[in-house]
Homo-oligomer: A and B are copies of this chain.
């Protein structure tokens, strides 16, 4: 019996995006930008069945799709300190971690690009995410210039590294938002991307994200208040797309009196933890 194989996948907070839907799920996805976080997800896989998150049985539709496309069965144990449904790309992280681990456990001999594409397609088909997987595979501060998984998607990045804080007030359903009318989101997202590419820095990323949150009508009152609080104390913050989560650079939320979780930009993309 094969030993379990463990992977780490960083969390990913999208600041802004525009949805790109095509018939081919590998070519579908989003343009946009976000930050990957050193707080992430550990995914262990061994032969067997069932998915367990922090000790409790769950069902994650894209993970089932990953296993189905790879034609394997696995017992998946997930550990994370990040909250579900709050804009950290957890479903994408579990899907990608599952694909990377299954490749080793079952000797599938797929490349990284192929495994990223499997996890990306699973997210697209499940409606649970559009750009987390490709960002989480890369690490850093990914800019999604062209949508989709390899070989179609195209990424760049902001070459910076900073501390990040966040506070989560509750969940938002990615599926519900993505299945609705996203024309306003798309217009705002395309404009934000253009702004960022003209001046690819973290502070421009925050500014473009904030404007996107406003223009896209996705901003909730609690998040708006928290962003205002951070800005009043000289910091910068925006909303995680899609979750009722506010994130800030440096110590922005702590400085504004919030009890925030502290993390940092993760320089490393998804990878096997063992050597």
Query: A interface vs B, CB < 8 Å?
Result: 100, 103-104, 109-115, 139-140, 143, 150-151, 154, 156-163, 197, 199-201, 264-265, 267-269, 271-272, 274-275
Contacts and interface: CB of A to CB of B under 8 A. Distances in A.
Given A109-B199, A111-B156, 20 more contacts: A103-B159, A104-B159, A109-B201, A110-B159, A111-B143, A111-B157, A111-B158, A111-B159, A112-B156, A113-B156, A113-B157, A140-B271, A150-B156, A159-B272, A160-B272, A264-B275, A265-B275, A267-B269, A267-B271, A267-B272
A267 B6 CA distance: 14
A109 to B, nearest CB: 6
A interface: dominant SS:
loop
Given A151-B154, A200-B110, A200-B111, A275 B159 contact: no
Contact of A275 (B114, B143, B161): B161
Copies of this chain per assembly: 2
A112 B115 CA distance: 24
A161 B271 contact: yes
5 contacts: A112-B140, A112-B157, A139-B269, A159-B272, A268-B268
Contacts of A104: 159-160
A115 B274 contact: no
Nearest to A154: B151
A143 B143 CA distance: 22
A95 to B, nearest CB: 14
Q: In the A-B complex, list the 7 residue pairs whose CB atoms are closest, starting with the nearest.
A: A267-B271, A112-B157, A268-B268, A113-B156, A161-B272, A112-B159, A111-B156
Contacts of A269: 139, 267
Interface centre among A158, A159, A272 (most CB of B within 10 A): A159
Nearest to A157: B112
